[in-house]
């Protein structure tokens, strides 16, 4: 299974490997990009039958052209052969453009450059990134099975990459954070890659300007390519570790996401598991996952968010109802549920009849 230690693919891969282990499925976790930190290494080491391999290979979105990505694909195929892998679970589909790997392949797209760019900028990727968009399409087409973390994202992928059939939708799962005992407190909170334009941090900063309570924001303000945002009204907390994040969520603030593009949204799930009331943008993914368990704001309008947040803050009954509704809904999205669905795909790909037909 490929992974990187930078973003949301890491918790997805580690939690999935951990949930697959009781099924007797052993995982070689091949990390691309920057090396995992000590805590990440410890998490992988705690999984029975999991072997962590720090490949030193690049992640595609930090490459300047196709050749390093294609070379990484060839190296992943060689690594799979070296470890006697029965199947490759690829969380970076672009590497599959390098050619056949000798075993069945499941590709999972967690948010390709093309759909992200269109959400961020309203256009197709420019020439500087078009090569990566093409590699992702080639990789998705080459895979034996393709999965997306939501039906909404599956539809986006099918249209953007002109796939013959939509990917299968398997929702992500997350083990709830260990929350300390803490009284509920009045406040507003968001978390994520604040530098990323699809997270709409500029809009949230405008929302914060009109609130009478602090609006805290956890996450990096500067991205890997120098993208940056400088909020004036949000209380920027920087990147928080799991313990610090749990401490914030334990107070059950109103959690807000104004994302314009989100294949799933692990930060929203973590807040829901903590019982935070949710105020979310009306993108298809959030409607799919959270309708009936959140206030959905249909407009890309600071006033609409401000009104929704104020409504939750002043109405204690609504606040408690939304928090409980979010917590109950979050119980659908577990690593065990994800693993059961993924293992079923593995079994189909490894079935002799499927392999003969392929």
- Comparing CA positions, the residue from 297, 210, 218 lying closest to residue 259 is 297
- Measured from the Cβ of residue 104, the count of other Cβ atoms closer than 10 Å reads 22
Question: How do 105-108 and 50-54 pair as beta strands?
Answer: unpaired
The secondary structure of residue 195, as a DSSP letter, is T
Q: What pLDDT was estimated at residue 40?
A: 94
> What's the pLDDT tens digit per position in 1-53?
999 998 889 999 999 999 999 999 999 999 999 999 999 999 999 999 999 99
Percent of the chain with pLDDT over 70: 98
Q: What pLDDT was estimated at residue 352?
A: 73
Residue 353 scores a pLDDT above 80 = no
> What's the pLDDT tens digit per position in 244-284?
999 999 999 999 999 999 999 999 999 999 999 999 999 99
For domain 188-330, say whether CATH 1.10.760.10 is its number: no
Class of domain 2-174+335-357: alpha beta
Q: Residue 19 in contact with residue 338, Cβ under 8 Å?
A: yes
Q: What pLDDT was estimated at residue 8?
A: 86
Query: Is this prediction's pTM over 0.85?
Result: yes
Q: What pLDDT was estimated at residue 128?
A: 87
Q: Residue 224 in contact with residue 62, Cβ under 8 Å?
A: yes
Can you tell me the distance from the alpha carbon of 50 to that of 48, in angstroms, rounded to the nearest whole number? 6
> What's the pLDDT tens digit per position in 162-209?
999 999 999 999 999 999 998 888 899 999 999 999 999 999 999 999
Q: What pLDDT was estimated at residue 298?
A: 85
3-class secondary-structure state, position 218? strand
Task: Take residue 353 and report the two structure tokens written for it.
Answer: 């009849």
Considering only 54-58, 127-131, 257-261, 309-313, which range has the smallest mean pLDDT?
Answer: 127-131
CATH topology identical between 2-174+335-357 and 188-330: yes
Domain assignments of the chain as residue spans, ordered by start: 2-174+335-357, 188-330
- Comparing CA positions, the residue from 189, 244, 248 lying closest to residue 214 is 189
What are the residues whose beta carbons fall under 8 Å from the beta carbon of 127, sequence distance 6 or more?
A: none
Confidence class for position 290, pLDDT limits 50, 70, 90? very high
3-class secondary-structure state, position 11? helix
Confidence class for position 140, pLDDT limits 50, 70, 90? very high
Percent of the chain with pLDDT over 90: 90
Q: What pLDDT was estimated at residue 145?
A: 97
- Taking the chain, what is the end-to-end CA distance rounded to the nearest angstrom? 21
Residue 354 scores a pLDDT above 70 = no
> What's the pLDDT tens digit per position in 78-104?
999 999 999 999 999 999 999 999 999
Angle between helix 9-20 and 335-350 (nearest 10): 70
Q: How far is CA 320 from CA 18, 186, 261, 262, 316, in A?
A: 33, 12, 28, 26, 6
Can you tell me the distance from the alpha carbon of 72 to that of 81, in angstroms, rounded to the nearest whole number? 14
The residue to which tokens 């104004």 are assigned:
258
Confidence class for position 323, pLDDT limits 50, 70, 90? very high
């Amino acid at each position: 299974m490929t992974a990187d230690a930078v973003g949301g693919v890491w918790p997805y891969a580690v939690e999935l490997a951990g949930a697959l282990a009781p099924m007797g499925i052993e995982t070689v976790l091949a990390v691309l990009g920057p090396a995992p930190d000590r805590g990440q290494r410890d998490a992988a080491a705690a999984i029975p039958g999991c072997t962590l391999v720090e490949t030193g290979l690049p992640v595609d979105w930090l490459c300047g052209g196709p050749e390093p990505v294609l070379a990484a694909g060839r190296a992943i195929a060689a690594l799979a052969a070296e470890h006697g892998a029965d199947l490759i679970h690829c969380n970076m589909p672009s590497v599959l453009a390098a050619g056949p790997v000798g075993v069945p392949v499941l590709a999972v797209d967690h948010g390709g450059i093309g759909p992200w760019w269109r959400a961020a900028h309203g256009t197709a990727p420019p020439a500087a990134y078009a090569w990566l968009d093409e590699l992702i399409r080639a990789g998705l087409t080459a895979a034996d099975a393709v999965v997306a973390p939501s039906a909404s994202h599956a539809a986006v992928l099918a249209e953007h990459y002109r796939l013959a059939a939509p990917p299968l939708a398997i929702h992500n799962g997350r083990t709830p954070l260990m929350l300390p005992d803490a009284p509920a407190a009045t406040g507003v909170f968001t978390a994520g890659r604040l530098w990323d334009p699809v997270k709409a941090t500029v809009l949230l900063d405008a929302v914060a300007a009109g609130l009478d309570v602090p609006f805290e924001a956890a996450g990096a303000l500067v991205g890997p390519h120098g993208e940056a945002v400088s909020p004036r009204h949000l209380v920027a907390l920087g990147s928080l570790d799991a313990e610090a994040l749990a401490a914030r969520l334990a107070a059950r603030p109103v959690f807000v996401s104004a994302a314009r593009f989100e294949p799933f949204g692990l930060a929203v799930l973590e807040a829901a598991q903590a019982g935070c009331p949710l105020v979310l943008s009306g993108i298809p993914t959030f409607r799919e996952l959270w309708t009936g368990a959140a206030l959905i704001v249909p407009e890309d309008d600071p006033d609409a968010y401000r009104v929704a947040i104020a409504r939750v803050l002043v109405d204690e009954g609504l606040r408690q109802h939304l928090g409980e509704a979010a917590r109950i809904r979050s119980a659908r999205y577990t690593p065990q549920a994800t693993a059961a669905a993924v293992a079923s795909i593995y079994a189909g790909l490894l079935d002799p009849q499927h392999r003969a037909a392929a």
